Amino acid sequence: MSLLFFHFDLHIEDRMLNALLAGVILGVGAGLCLKTSGSQGGTDMLSVVLLKRFSIKIGNTLMVLNGLVLLLISVYYSIEAVLYTMIVVVVSSKVINLVVVGLSQRKAVFIISRHWDDISREILKDIRRGVTIIKGEGGYSRKEEKILYTVVQLTEIGTLKRLVHGIDPDAFVVISDTQEVINYRIGNQPHW
């Protein structure tokens, strides 16, 4: 047996588990390849072009392209085989997106609180992220509100939630995924 390669025998009877595991393994491998600016020599390069040109996630493009291929070959294979393969395609595309973006995913956060000044100051001091203060108005109360807007890394969300809750347990907080952030301090670093 070689020191670099080893035999790994994982015998699973359940086809669904096989499809899920195959999707995860394929997604991790393809994601690592793409994250390091590599290519598998297939549709992944088209996905990179679409990412650069239109900001479409690589995994999403691969899912659509591979789905089209599956649709074309579905006349030659059983519908069951095609559906299990579609599970592999969907899972792998999600894992690819996770590996390529990974923990560098940014979150956009809106915070509405009577203690907006204290929260803003603590975000600047503790998390060291910028905060934008937006003037708003309550839809029901018609009172002027201050809305804090900030963008943080995925790994900072827990700290931010504890910080806000520690200052104002009644604060209204909305956390959203970002598609892309372009800025020298917190922007996503391009891979290509």
User: Is residue 78 in a domain?
Assistant: yes
188 band by pLDDT with thresholds 50, 70 and 90:
low
User: Is residue 153 in a domain?
Assistant: yes
Domain check: are 85 and 128 in the same one? no
Domain check: are 21 and 78 in the same one? yes
86, 82, 138: which is closest to 113 by C-alpha?
138
User: Is residue 6 in a domain?
Assistant: no
Domain check: are 64 and 138 in the same one? no
pTM recorded for the entire structure: 0.64
Region 19-24 average pLDDT: 95
Domain boundary among 63, 81, 102: 102
Residue 168 sits in a domain whose CATH number is 3.30.70.120
Total number of domains constituting the chain: 2
Residue pLDDT, tens place only, 60-88:
888 999 999 999 998 999 999 999 999 99
Express as a percent the part of the chain with pLDDT over 70: 93
DSSP structural state of residue 189: P
Region 116-132 average pLDDT: 95
Residue 151: phi and psi, rounded to 5, are: -120, 125
Domain check: are 29 and 79 in the same one? yes
Arithmetic mean of pLDDT over the chain: 87
- Domain encompassing residue 136: 105-177
39 band by pLDDT with thresholds 50, 70 and 90:
confident
CA distances from 139 to 5, 82, 135, 145 (A): 63, 50, 13, 10
pLDDT score recorded for residue 2? 61
Question: Counting every residue, how long is the chain?
Answer: 192
110 band by pLDDT with thresholds 50, 70 and 90:
very high
User: Is residue 9 in a domain?
Assistant: no
